Structure 1
Amino acid sequence: MRHWLAAVLFLILSASLLSGCGYRQIQAEDEQVLAVASEYIVLSQRRADQVPGLVRIVQTYAPNEREALERVGSARAAVLAHMPASPDALGGPATVIAFSQGNLALSRAVDGLLAISENYPALKADAGFRDLQAQLEEAGGRIDAVQLRYADAVRAYNTEIGVWPSSLLAMLMGAKPKAEIR
């Protein structure tokens, strides 16, 4: 009798798990996190690639602004040093925090460097500088937006694997919570 009851309970549990109680949703949420993480990494890399051009132009017109130029260079280096190799690698708390803090530091350093242009009319008038300024401001806005989307995607994923009955399936799948941007 006990074996029969255990078998029935096992079949009921298996049927509920296999009937779509969260598997597709967990997979969809995980894929969304990876897609947004990939976009976050690509946009960050693209902005980091634009920074040396800005530094060269500013050095031409404002060579005395070494401190601001060094701040931009070290912030760019921090972003590149913490750049995840793949979207999967962005899931760890230390990586997310270091990468997002590096991006924030780079945004602040670039903003400071762009503000310097007010003191140098020739720099402000340079077409290359204006183009890079516009591109970097757009890139910063896009990175801010993708960070919010990443945080939303991670929150949705973590919620999905944390609620019943999906949490049971997530445990069986080995799904772990992902770190959020703070």
Structure 2
Amino acid sequence: MKKWLIPVIVIAVIAYSLYSWAVGFNNTAVEYQEDAKTAWSNVESSYQRRNDLIGNLVKTVQGAADFEKETLTDVINARAKATSVNINAGDLTPEKMAQFQQAQAGMSGALSKLLVSVERYPELKANANFLELQSQLEGTENRINIARDRFNGGVNVYNKLIKKFPGSILAGVFNFDAMERFKSNPGSENAPDVNFDFNKKKE
């Protein structure tokens, strides 16, 4: 073998190794990023389910005689705001995430106020449709919590990949940016209380 072939072979092996590493990193980053985006879609889907249920709940409550109009108006307005804030999974900036969370927190607060107000309306507490919606809302709040946790888990896996050296070098080359996690508002780790003991006597 000619001596000049040795450095050529070495360079070729190194170049192939770097290429394989770059391709492997890119493909893994794409996979993790897409998994995180899918998890975000599931978060939005869970919130959309809640908004749909709340729409039906409002219609049921509207049928009650003399129900507080202000409370209903607050829920209707909060629901409209929550459904108007949508984020593209590929553009989860801190500002947009904060806006989304603020809208959903407003919806949670209005919903809690409405459900507390129902205590003063025996006909609603005995309404089968209302009780079914209440049960579905409870399940949906649990789904939301699970979806948010899974999204954060997916983002964590992706962010670690692109931030750890030497992957961080290729992340910059391939334009892989860190994704924003879902940050709970104070107290939002607890789902709105949609369970009521309707047989409990008021003090």
- TM-score w.r.t. length of structure 1: 0.84
User: What is the CA–CA distance in structure 2 between the aligned matches of 1:60 and 1:172, rounded to whole Å?
Assistant: 59
User: What is the CA–CA distance in structure 2 between the aligned matches of 1:110 and 1:173, rounded to whole Å?
Assistant: 44
The 3 A distance-change label for structure 1 pair 11 and 164 is farther
Which amino acid counterpart does residue 130 of structure 2 have in structure 1? F
Which amino acid counterpart does residue 107 of structure 1 have in structure 2? S
Which residue in the other structure is 1:169 paired with? 170
Which residue in the other structure is 1:52 paired with? 55
Which amino acid counterpart does residue 165 of structure 2 have in structure 1? W
Cα-to-partner distance string for 1:90-118 (whole Å, 9 max, x where unaligned)? x2222211112222221222122122222
Task: Kindly state the Cα deviation for residue 140 of structure 1 after the two structures are TM-superposed.
Answer: 1.6
- Spell out structure 1 runs of 4+ moving beyond 6 A: none
User: What is the CA–CA distance in structure 2 between the aligned matches of 1:181 and 1:167, rounded to whole Å?
Assistant: 23
SS of 1:167's equivalent in the other structure is: helix
| 1:81 and 2:72 matched | no
Retained in 2: the 8 A contact 1:79–1:102?
Answer: yes
- The higher radius of gyration belongs to 2
Cα-to-partner distance string for 1:37-83 (whole Å, 9 max, x where unaligned)? 11111111222122221112112215341222122112211211112
SS of 1:39's equivalent in the other structure is: helix
* Higher-RCO chain (CA-CA 8 Å, sequence separation at least 6): 1
Q: Please, what is the CA RMSD of the aligned residues?
A: 2.4
Which structure 2 segments of 5+ residues have no match?
A: 1-6, 184-203
Which residue in the other structure is 2:133 paired with? 132
Which structure 1 segments of 5+ residues have no match?
A: none
Retained in 2: the 8 A contact 1:161–1:175?
Answer: yes
Which residue in the other structure is 2:18 paired with? 16
Greater share of helix: 1
